[in-house]
Amino acid sequence: MTRAPVSLATDAIGWVWTVRTPETPFPPTRRTAGDVMVHCGVAVAGLCFVAFVAGFLAFVGTVARQERTPEGRTDGIVALTGGAQRIGDAIDLLAAGYGRRLLITGVNERTSREEIARLNPTQRELISCCVDLDYRARNTIGNAIETRRWMRTHHFSTVAVVTSNYHMPRTLIELDHALQESERIVPHPVVTEAFDADSWWRSPPAARLLASEYVKFLVSWVRTRFEADPERSRAAILIGRRKPVKMVAEPLMRGID
């Protein structure tokens, strides 16, 4: 014998029991517009998270694991400051004849040519004749602007770019945006033992570095889709690393240092 479901109800007198038969089921629950919006929001957030993680893993996969000698020679070499071995590797490339001149961009105001020569004593003469120092660039966007100015001053059409392997993807975006299609870029990523791209998940500092660089890469990619010239970019100024930042590269007021 099956017992009919029982529900509790009230009337004007007090509590009463009512019997609900299978023919009169409980009314269906109605979803409000707010519930639908919440479910859609959760679904969209989930998809965005999956896309972000997939993009991050793809980004990590593009990071160079070992250094490679550039194929052929270029007109010039550009080294971006900010990471270990970048300047040393760039000077070695210049000494090996892979470029006619070297631009070190984003140099600290307190760093002189003599200081660089002291750190590279065997290349003192080469540094004196064929190395240009840029003190104007404030960040990667400024590095790209100064590279463009330097290449056009010397009428260079090809340049080898030296920067850290994790920094190279964003650097190439900024350089592609600043330079014309006729100007060719040859990447030379610097790989150090302190940063292992193959086991980044085992090192919290390495994971944070890659995550930060990936976010900056996405911002650069989006920004360069909407602006015509980095020298007139308001967004570039807002994300500058120095406070307060009025420009990402100083106006070209004088010749190359």
pLDDT tens digits, one per residue of 101-141: 999 999 998 888 999 999 888 899 999 999 999 999 988 99
What pLDDT is stored for residue 143 in this prediction?
Answer: 94
Give the mean pLDDT of 184-211.
89
111-115, 151-155, 202-206, 229-233, range with the lowest pLDDT: 229-233
Give the mean pLDDT of 197-213.
90
Token couple for 166? 């994790």
Domain limits, the chain: 76-238
pTM greater than 0.85 (yes/no): no
Instruction: Residue 174: name the closest of 131, 119, 227, 104 by CA.
Output: 227
Q: Does residue 47 have a pLDDT over 60?
A: yes
Strands 6-10 and 101-105, by their bridges, are unpaired
Q: Which residues pair with 89 in a beta bridge?
A: none
Give the mean pLDDT of 35-53.
81
Average per-residue pLDDT in the chain?
A: 81
Which distant-in-sequence residues (6+ apart) come within 8 Å of 19 by Cβ? Answer: 4, 5, 6
Q: Does residue 252 have a pLDDT over 80?
A: no
Does the domain at residues 76-238 carry the CATH identifier 3.40.50?
A: yes
φ, ψ of residue 157 to 5 degrees: the values are: -115, -15
DSSP states of 13-52 as a string?
SSEEEEE--TTSPPPPPPPPHHHHHHHHHHHHHHHHHHHH
Burial class (CB in 10 A: 0-12, 13-18, 19+), 219: middle
Give the mean pLDDT of 217-227.
91
Q: Does residue 254 have a pLDDT over 90?
A: no
How many Å apart are CA 257 and CA 253, to the nearest integer?
Answer: 11
At residue 170 the predicted structure's pLDDT band, cuts being 50, 70 and 90, is: very high
Q: Which residues pair with 131 in a beta bridge?
A: 102
